[in-house]
Structure 1
Amino acid sequence: MLTLRLARVGKKKQAFYKLIVSEKTRDTYGTYLEALGNLNPHTNPSTLTVNKERIDYWLK
């Protein structure tokens, strides 16, 4: 089963997240099928960029 997840990347105390599609049983730090966007919580307000077309593709 596939899931949409946030995978943490970046340095210690400078977290940055990628929105990914992966198998439910896989580790978020391992392989994933596709990166769909990212989240930067350090901007004010937090910045979320996504590829809407690809999200719609994976949700169908």
Structure 2
Amino acid sequence: MSVRIRLTRKGTKKKPFYRIVAADLESPRDGRFLEVLGTYDPMTEPAAINLKQERIQYWLGEGAKPSTTVQSILKKQGMASA
């Protein structure tokens, strides 16, 4: 099972809110996930980002690969991604 750290979209039309989750590579964007790792709200200025750093480090250590968007969020927060 390949695990990807990625975003799932929540919120309403034109007001997106995202959860950062660890999910199986083959599950759909808003489908089943393994664990919620944080949140990302791009509608605030500056964008609000909350991360569970210990759990993200755990999943990266287990071989999970972040999506390009999540990788840039981790880079902004000063977390080294694998």
Band the TM-score falls in, shorter-chain normalisation: over 0.9
User: Matched residue of 2:12: which SS?
Assistant: coil
Q: Secondary structure at the match of 1:53?
A: helix
Q: TM-score, normalised by structure 1?
A: 0.95
Root mean square deviation, CA, Å: 0.6
* Aligned partner letter, 2:25: K
Which structure features the higher share of strand residues?
Answer: 1
Identity over aligned pairs, percent: 37
Structure 2: where are the runs of 5+ without partners?
62-82
Residue type at the aligned position of 2:39: N
User: What's the TM-score, normalizing by structure 2?
Assistant: 0.71
Q: Which residue of 1 aligns with 2:44?
A: 43
Partner of 1:53: 54
After TM superposition, what 4+ stretches of structure 1 lie above 2 angstroms from structure 2? none
